[in-house]
Structure 1
């Protein structure tokens, strides 16, 4: 069915996605405090000193999901003997290299080590001072990416914000997001194992981050793209406040969490007759199978949302916006936003790709339920735009911006909520595309997957460094207090909380400003359409 539904999406080259690790060893010198070491209830850990910070890389938070544990929920890691030398920064969960959109830690073309459930910690010192904790969940279409990408280096966030920063790996693709309960009831719920990995990592943080100088009662989870889909799904689980006190969702919301029906359709595409058949495959064979299925049944942009958390009724109870509106996340502060030209990311192969994506949107993605108002909506979006630009603007609003405003509005009833839009454009042709905020949030200024990003940054380095400082101050202030205005070392406007009808939005750009209900007429065109969960087009 997926193959028939999305046949119109195929076009050449546009399927863009959104190792051995440290082992415990005994060493006489690793326990020295001067060498960045600490002791947890699981055992001693030794990291490295870098630029005045203590950095711990490749700490295992769950047992290797291999052998009998493949396709099973994560099993929390047990105690180790001796001192864990946490110096491995190369862990990448299984995937084929996506050099266009990911910033890998080495040059491998294929990553096949399933023993990848590791996390990294950057801290000013493991001194029990109870600093705010920021846990980052990477994006990459739940098929690509790793916590060890240089663009996600947490050093600047940790140093500038006096915070403890954690980045986590989780299982990807078929290995983490395939519902196999239809093949074997014992594997029911496996379609959310990637989400369970993340939850297990967050629980590890709660249990052990105090030993690294962090406050387990002051955890902010930050996710981008698929990471944001995942964290938004956690808002629809029972007691999300037990996982984090605050959450930042960058370019992703619960509208892209799968329905159960869609997840069943995805599972049905796997050409296997048993879980045993899958378990008997090598990692490479599973990746090859995964690529074949996506190429055949979800070509083009839909491949970027093929894997995601889903509403299973047990872990993810209902649609995110429904649960949030009812107060399920009333104990969680929310900061959420999108980039001005999200969907243009997929058109960076050139004008032909941009045109093709616009045509695909018109043919496949525009909601059938809005057919009666389609002509009026298209006319409104065409003001000052070409046909392709209008289609991509509608695609961005439908897929990212408007669902973000809906989630912000739902949560604003219960907790302080902040909305942003990132609008700096490295090129006029593509604008502020998906992932563009990341080099500024981390202060790494690595523009992987962003055409013209590095050149544009170098041409305006001083002002763009200021923009990054403003964003880091806002993110870390939010993590510390729930208010992004608590620490403004670089001048910028105050950021009001989001509430209708004002709908105050921080517009991040050179010269940041606050706008009330930006492009509100276009936002209002979607009124009445329920952005609940991602399913098959009706």
Structure 2
């Protein structure tokens, strides 16, 4: 089991990585696309226009791309629809001007790690189930489609963050890029079925939101120049955990053809027992009162609930997808190993020093974080801990060894288990991001995001901005290499098929070789990196988060 530490308190973005998806669908099938340009009323800029079965949509022209921001993919989850599965969005009359880049699902601002589109301190608009599209042109070119699901502990963040701007991916990769919002915190991830059976499954509504957005993409992305039969979903942290959960739903290949999991896996999907513990800890027992409560008050109740549980359970891991037996059928690794996702190509990886990220929020920094690992280490491996620690201590200080074990247990090893399970069925690729700012605290959680998107915005990455100022040319090259790899994977299923910049070939991950791309200056391929440490975790089942 992936066990929650009893004392790891980290509020903010989340190594727990939970996010959400959707279940309801948009309406009708896509119709023929009409491509045109029209003035948008702001100076002499022009907006791109396309026609969908829901109505006409206009966006803006930006550096050779058409950008559509704030397109609704589901009905507003307000009033009687609060805590219910997402419902179909209604067609609109006239032209929808998709220029809204400020949609953020309800949350208190995370000032340390998220890259918000504005300076609001609290976000309270529940009408947030919107998505953004970047495309070279809304024609019928059938470009590969990349859909991004953001992280943030299923409690923070938005698809509208500037660091997730899809322009570089769309332009360099000739792809259609989509980012989306989904319900967060209590509103998207609290199981209320124990209070009222009609709300059974509400703990996965955030996941249903995401799945609804993916169905919207399959129906309408052709109107934006994308290929609905070639969709790659990309998730980071909580987003990756959510996509992992989708791999354990029925027929995930109907949602996407390929998946990229960055710093998250099925080990962070809640077990049924853990979800029951969280539901029992929720302080309000009256659903009617909760359904009509002002959003600001809901957020206050949410923070009290989070604070009531110890450590990571009260912060990073409180919210997220869970195995409900209906939508998410079983533990992700078991389901994938049995071939449930045999129609999905997979790319998965982690950052070398993932957990160091949380040292920014921990008393006494990295030293305090390393001490907390005692409560995190799995009881099942207690008899071999001394031997494991001795292996990790080679070339490391005691603190460095504890943090390396912490990262391996929480992110790297579960990702490798998932890759190994899927490699039996479909081409699977593994990476590790190793580059670290010279004056930072390592290759921490989220560090790969500025490179994957080509935005080079180092929010929450100590030393990142200074490194960019002093080494911009080499970091830009590394980013271009990763953009090429991600878009090549989206186009062909092979991240090395498109190598416009010199970098090594990237073989699929198969045992016993276990070829792994190491993203660094320069990148390299390593066979079974730190394999002796990987093998120490054999026998531990990473099949869900539990207390």
TM class by shorter chain equals over 0.9
1:435 aligns with 2:446: yes
Cα deviation, residue 271, structure 1: 1.0
Equivalent pair of 1:136/1:222 in contact (CA under 8 Å): yes
Partner of 2:184: 172
Q: How does 1:152-231 map to 2 (within 5 A)?
A: 152-231=164-243
2:415 is the counterpart of 1:419: no
Local SS of the residue matching 1:84: strand
Which residue does the alignment assign to 2:26?
Answer: none
Q: Relative to 1, partners in 2 of residues 1:384 and 1:429: Cα closer, same or farther, differing over 3 Å? A: farther
CA distance in 2, matches of 1:349, 1:414: 40
How far has the Cα of 1:355 moved from its partner? 1.5
1:387: Cα distance to partner? 1.8
State the Cα distance separating 1:334 from its structure 2 match.
0.1
Is residue 16 of structure 1 aligned with residue 12 of structure 2? yes
Partner Cα separation in structure 1 for residue 167 and residue 260 of structure 2: 19
Match of 1:51 in 2: 63
Q: Count residues with an aligned counterpart.
A: 517
Deviation per CA, 1:281-303, whole angstroms, max 9, x where unpaired? 11011111111111221445751
**Consecutive unaligned residues in structure 1, runs of 5 or more:** 19-29
Matched-pair contact (CA < 8 Å) for 1:31–1:46? no
Deviation at 1:361, TM superposition (A): 1.2
**Unaligned 5+ runs, structure 2:** 15-34, 39-45
- Distance in 1 (CA, whole Å) between partners of 2:180 and 2:310 is 27
CA offsets, 1:358-403, max 9 Å, x none?
11111x1100000110110111111122222111111100010001
Kindly provide the CA deviation profile for residues 139-197 of structure 1, in whole angstroms up to 9, marking residues without a partner as x. 00000000000000000000000000000000000000000000000000000000000
| Alignment pair present for 1:73 and 2:85 | yes
The alignment partner of 2:145 has SS state of: strand
Residue 274 of structure 1: which of 278, 282, 286 is its match? 286
**Where in structure 2 are the equivalents of 1:334-345 lying within 5 Å?**
334-345=346-357
What's the TM-score, normalizing by structure 2?
Answer: 0.93
Alignment partner of 1:402 is 2:413:
yes
SS at 1:56 equivalent? strand
Could you tell me how far apart the structure 1 residues matched to 2:229 and 2:169 are? 19
Alignment RMSD = 1.4
Q: TM-score, normalised by structure 1?
A: 0.94
Q: What whole-Å deviation, never above 9, does each CA across 1:22-50 have from its counterpart, x for those lacking one?
A: xxxxxxxx964663000000000000000
| Residue 519 (structure 2) aligned to one of 477, 498, 508 | 508
Contact 1:298 1:306 in 2 (8 A): no
Partner of 2:510: 499
The structural deviation recorded for 1:16 is 3.0
The answer on whether the counterparts of 2:189 and 2:202 sit within 8 Å (CA) in structure 1 is yes
- Distance between the aligned counterparts of 1:150 and 1:99, measured in 2? 15
Larger RCO, structures 1/2 (Cα 8 Å, 6+ apart): 2
Q: Residue 7 of structure 1: CA displacement?
A: 5.4
Return structure 1 stretches of 4+ with deviation > 4 angstroms. Answer: none
Offset at residue 429 of structure 1 (A):
5.2
2:254 aligned residue (239, 242, 247): 242
Name which of 444, 460, 480 aligns with 1:449.
Answer: 460
Is the 8 Å Cα contact of residues 12 and 152 (structure 2) preserved in structure 1?
Answer: no
Over residues 412-469 of structure 1, what are the superposed CA-to-partner deviations in whole Å (9 max), with x where a residue is unaligned?
0100000000000114651100000000000001000011101112211111111001
Q: 2:393 aligns with which of 382, 393, 401?
A: 382
Q: Of 310, 314, 323, which residue of structure 1 is paired with 2:326?
A: 314
Match of 1:485 in 2: 496
Bigger Cα displacement from structure 2, 382-391 vs 475-484? 382-391
Within the candidate set 528, 531, 534, 2:545 is matched to 534
Partner of 2:41: none
In structure 2, the partner of 1:112 is 124
Which of 150, 159, 164 matches 1:138? 150
CA contact (8 A) 1:16 1:300 kept: no
SS at match of 2:300: helix
